C-alpha cells in the first residue's frame, strides 16, 4: 500500500502524517508513506484541499484532519477490498 500525505507542512498536515503512521502501526500495515509538500505536485494528484491522504492513487481524505480511528476504518476497507 502506498500512502501519500499532501500538504504544505502546516501543523494540520504534520498531524495528518502522524495519524497515518499511527493507524498503519496499529493495523500492522506495512505501507510506503510519503509526505508531498510541493503544491504543484499535489495539484497534479488532484488535491484541492489539504491536508489530503491518498492511498494507491485515490484520494481518501481531503480538507480535514482525519483521526487515527477514521484512518483505520479507511485503511481496513481498502485492505479488505
| Catalytic positions, written as ranges | 10, 13
Residues 51 and 7: their CA atoms lie apart, in Å, by 5
Nearest one of 78, 77, 75 to 27, comparing CA atoms? 75
Phi, psi of 62 (to 5 degrees): -155, 135
Residue for grid cell 505501507: 31
Amino acid at each position: 500500500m502506498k500512502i501519500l500525505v499532501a500538504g504544505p507542512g502546516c501543523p494540520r498536515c504534520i498531524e495528518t502524517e502522524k495519524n497515518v503512521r499511527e493507524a498503519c502501526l496499529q493495523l500492522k500495515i506495512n505501507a510506503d508513506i510519503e509526505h508531498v509538500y510541493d503544491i504543484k505536485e499535489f495539484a497534479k494528484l488532484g488535491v484541492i484541499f489539504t491536508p489530503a491522504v491518498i492511498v494507491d492513487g485515490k484520494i481518501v481524505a481531503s480538507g480535514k484532519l482525519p483521526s487515527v480511528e477514521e484512518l483505520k476504518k479507511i485503511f481496513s476497507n481498502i485492505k479488505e477490498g
